[in-house]
């Protein structure tokens, strides 16, 4: 016996056919025009069924809802039981990935009023579908992302930040220990009797070798990867205590060097060199060398 197709399924197939030519989505008003023989209630029922089957997704433009065919390669994670506004907000946050999205951008994309948006965000947070994460780029702002995502290091600051505070002492320790390893290798290289080229090659250290040394010291409470250690090694280079040698494969080696200056010259040590208002300093006026407390402390 032939089974008569469900009316909602038939309408749904027609909606999908029209949606194929509308990559930016189509509205219920457009469907009413192209499908004049179908009641609006039937259209809504068919659309809801397609949404539940994850065949189409909801967009919001200005004050209208648009419906677009969902990319089959994109895994659906739209929460069950959510209303249309929650699905829109959830989809916007999902697009932000692990870098998150500001609430201002969510409001612009969803076109929801702030009170309504805050209520939706709170509901999604209570359901553990999304979470708010503080960003190191703006301490008073939060970004929203899906609950199960690990925030990108551009949001958390990576290993150098703890609760948005830059761990300056931790970075200094890593800087010192990395330099110590480079200096140890340089000292050992001088003891080689295979010639200067062999000694120079032995003094060069890879990021992997420095990473292994730091890991074995156990001075870090967080897991550091090789990119973290390369960042530290670059600071050693910027300090003029090491040099970076780029290999043919694009990777870098690092080698300790002797600083050309045993100590900083007087001009560098003077407070004038880092004074933010030096352009206002003169022999007369409120800012003068004679009245400068920093200059007095330096002279003492």
Q: For residue 106, what is the domain's CATH number?
A: 1.10.10.10
Do 4 and 40 share a domain, yes or no?
A: yes
Q: Is residue 263 part of a domain?
A: no
Which of the listed residues 97, 124, 156 is the one where a domain comes to its end? 156
**Rounded Cα–Cα distance for residues 152 and 109 (Å):** 22
Cα distances from 75 to residues 23, 52, 56, 86, 94, in angstroms, run 18, 14, 13, 18, 11
Q: Is residue 227 part of a domain?
A: yes
**Rounded Cα–Cα distance for residues 72 and 32 (Å):** 26
Q: Which helix (H) or strand (E) segment is 101 a member of?
A: strand 101-102
- Count of domains for the chain: 4
Do 190 and 231 share a domain, yes or no?
A: yes
287's tokens: 């800012």
Q: For residue 84, give its domain range.
A: 80-156
CA dihedral (257, 238, 277, 139) in degrees, to 10, reads: -140
Q: Is residue 209 part of a domain?
A: yes
Which of the listed residues 27, 56, 76 is the one where a domain comes to its end? 76
Return per-residue pLDDT of the chain as tens, 300 residues: 444 457 778 888 888 888 888 888 888 888 888 888 888 888 888 887 887 677 887 776 666 678 888 766 555 556 666 677 888 888 888 888 888 888 888 988 888 889 999 999 999 989 888 898 887 666 667 889 888 777 777 676 666 666 556 667 878 888 888 999 999 998 888 887 777 788 888 889 999 999 898 888 887 766 777 888 888 898 889 888 899 998 888 888 999 987 654 444 455 556 676 666 777 788 877 778 888 877 777 776
Q: Is residue 97 part of a domain?
A: yes
Which of the listed residues 76, 91, 121 is the one where a domain comes to its end? 76
Do 165 and 236 share a domain, yes or no?
A: yes
Do 148 and 172 share a domain, yes or no?
A: no
Q: Is residue 262 part of a domain?
A: no
CA-wise closest residue to 145 among 134, 136, 132: 132
C-alpha R_g of the chain: 31
Cα distances from 82 to residues 124, 177, 188, in angstroms, run 9, 53, 66
Do 60 and 91 share a domain, yes or no?
A: no
């Amino acid at each position: 016996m032939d089974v008569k197709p469900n009316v909602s399924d038939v309408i749904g197939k027609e909606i999908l056919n029209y949606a194929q030519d509308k990559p930016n989505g189509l509205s219920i008003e457009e469907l009413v025009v192209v499908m004049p023989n179908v009641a609006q209630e039937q259209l809504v029922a068919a659309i809801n069924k397609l949404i539940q089957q994850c065949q189409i997704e909801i967009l919001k433009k200005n004050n209208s809802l648009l419906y677009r065919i969902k990319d089959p390669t994109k895994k659906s994670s739209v929460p069950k039981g959510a209303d249309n506004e929650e699905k829109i907000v959830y989809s916007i946050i999902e697009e932000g990935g692990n870098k998150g999205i500001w609430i201002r951008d969510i409001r612009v994309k969803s076109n929801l009023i702030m009170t309504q948006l805050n209520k939706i965000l709170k509901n999604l947070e209570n359901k553990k579908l999304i979470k708010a994460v503080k960003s190191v780029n703006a301490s008073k702002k939060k970004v929203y992302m899906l609950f199960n995502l690990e925030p990108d290091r551009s949001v958390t600051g990576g290993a150098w930040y703890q609760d948005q505070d830059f761990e300056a002492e931790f970075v200094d320790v890593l800087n010192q220990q990395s330099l110590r390893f480079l200096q140890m290798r340089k000292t050992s290289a001088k003891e080689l009797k295979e010639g200067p080229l062999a000694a120079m090659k032995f003094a060069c250290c890879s990021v992997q070798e420095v990473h292994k040394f730091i890991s074995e010291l156990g001075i870090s409470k967080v897991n550091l990867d090789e990119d973290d250690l390369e960042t530290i090694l670059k600071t050693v280079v910027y300090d003029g205590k090491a040099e970076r040698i780029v290999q043919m494969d694009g990777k870098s080696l690092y080698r300790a060097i002797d600083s050309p200056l045993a100590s900083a010259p007087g001009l560098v040590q003077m407070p004038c060199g880092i004074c933010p208002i030096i352009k206002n300093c003169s022999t007369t006026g409120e800012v003068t060398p004679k009245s400068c407390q920093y200059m007095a402390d330096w002279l003492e």
